[in-house]
């Protein structure tokens, strides 16, 4: 980060040109039979430190139980598009009102290997100091992770899921492990933050 904290408008102006338009992102090829939209909520503290909001999914969910992820989910027929899906799900899961989110653009879609989703991420700026109202059914906890801490916690690590061991990109902050599609989304976001001079 630069020594002088950026205003929300300056942050938006720096990052938005590095992101894809929703239309360009939607046109990219991605594996996955089921489409999902997720919101990548970003905010800057008064000191200028960037943070990202994530959720830990409930341990009793059928898919991706207990994993760290971005608020989001499967598209509904009533959603206008996948960005609407992401905003609706963020409202349902953590109480983030859609009008409080300034959508800046999209990231490339990424698949979930085991569950067959094509995940479409949308980056949005929010104000700091939000009071989260989590869905008791879907969300075990809400986390605000400092981008610098996530970057410092990056590593290729060997993990085991469903009895299968593999090495993959991960981020660890305070014993919280981010991996899979969420880690891929973070990696792309961080590259774009770097290109914008924000990391």
In the chain, the domains with their CATH numbers are 8-147+178-195 (3.90.79.10)
pLDDT at 59: 60
Pair 190, 153: CB distance under 8 Å: no
pLDDT at 2: 45
3-state secondary structure (DSSP) of residue 145: strand
pLDDT tens digits, 40-78:
999 998 888 999 999 998 666 555 556 899 999 999 989
pLDDT tens digits, 110-169:
998 878 899 999 999 999 999 999 998 889 999 999 999 999 999 999 988 778 888 999
How many helical (H) and strand (E) elements, i.e. helices and strands, does the chain have? 5, 11
Cα–Cα distance for residue pair 191/55, rounded to 1 Å: 22
What is the value of pTM for the model shown?
0.93
Own/partner pairs for 86-93, CB < 8 Å, 24+ apart?
86/37, 86/38, 86/39, 86/120, 86/121, 86/122, 87/39, 87/122, 87/124, 89/37, 89/38, 89/39, 90/39, 90/41, 92/135, 92/138, 93/55, 93/134, 93/135, 93/138, 93/139
pLDDT at 58: 65
Q: How many CB atoms lie within 10 A of CB 160?
A: 8
């Amino acid at each position: 980060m630069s020594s002088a904290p950026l205003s929300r408008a300056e942050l938006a102006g720096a990052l938005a040109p590095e992101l894809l338009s929703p239309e360009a992102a939607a046109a990219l090829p991605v594996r996955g039979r089921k489409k999902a939209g997720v919101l990548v909520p970003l905010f800057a503290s008064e000191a200028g430190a960037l943070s990202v909001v994530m959720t830990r999914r409930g341990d009793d969910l059928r898919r991706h139980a207990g994993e760290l992820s971005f608020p989001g989910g499967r598209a509904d027929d009533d959603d206008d598009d996948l960005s609407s899906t992401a905003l609706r799900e963020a409202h349902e899961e953590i109480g983030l009102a859609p009008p409080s989110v300034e959508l800046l653009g999209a990231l490339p879609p990424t698949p979930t290997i085991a569950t067959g989703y094509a995940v479409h991420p949308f980056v949005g700026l929010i104000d700091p100091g939000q009071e989260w109202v989590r869905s008791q059914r879907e969300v075990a906890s809400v986390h605000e992770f400092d981008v610098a801490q996530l970057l410092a916690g990056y590593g290729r690590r060997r993990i085991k899921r469903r009895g299968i061991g593999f090495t993959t990109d991960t981020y660890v902050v305070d014993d919280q492990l981010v991996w899979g599609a969420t880690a891929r989304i973070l990696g792309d976001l961080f590259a774009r933050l770097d290109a914008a001079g924000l990391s």
